[in-house]
Amino acid sequence: MNKIRVFVSGAMGKMGQEVIKTILAQDDLVLVGAADTRGQGRDVGYLMGIARVGIDVSGPLDLEILKSSQADILVDFTNPQSVLKNAQVAIKAGVVPVIGTSGLDEDDIAKIKAAISKKGVGAFVASNFAIGAVLMMRFAREAAKYLPHIEIIELHHDQKLDAPSGTALKTAEWIAQVREPMPQGHPDEFEKLPGARGADFGGLHIHSVRLPGLVAHQEIIFGGLGQTLTIRHDAFTRETYMPGVVLAIRRAYKLTDLVIGLENFLD
**How do residues 210-252 score in pLDDT, each as one tens digit?**
999 999 999 999 999 999 999 999 999 989 999 999 999 999 9
Q: Of the given ranges (74-83, 85-94, 156-165), which has the lowest mean pLDDT?
A: 74-83
Query: Alpha carbon of 190 to those of 16, 185, 187, 194, 196: distances in Å?
Result: 44, 10, 9, 9, 9
Rounded to whole angstroms, the Cα distance separating 117 from 97 reads 14
| Dist. CA 192–CA 189, nearest whole Å | 10
Residue 96 has what pLDDT?
96
156 tagged catalytic: yes
Residue with the larger pLDDT of the pair 83 and 132:
132
Residue 124: the pLDDT is 96
Where residue 102 falls among pLDDT bands split at 50, 70, 90? low
State yes or no: pLDDT of 79 exceeds 80.
Answer: no
Q: Which domains does the chain have, with CATH numbers?
A: 4-125+239-265 (3.40.50.720), 131-236 (3.30.360.10)
Confidence grade of residue 183 (pLDDT, cut at 50, 70, 90) = very high
Residue among 111, 160, 205, 233 flagged as catalytic:
160
- The pLDDT value recorded for residue 73 is 97
In this prediction the pTM is: 0.86
Percent of the chain with pLDDT over 90: 78
Question: With pLDDT > 70 as the criterion, what percentage of the chain qualifies?
Answer: 99
Catalytic residue among 156, 170, 207, 233: 156
Which residue in 222, 206, 196 sits closest to 153, CA to CA?
Answer: 206
Q: Is 207 a known active-site residue?
A: no
**Beta-carbon contacts of residue 99 (< 8 Å; ≥ 6 apart):** 76, 83, 87, 123, 124, 125, 126
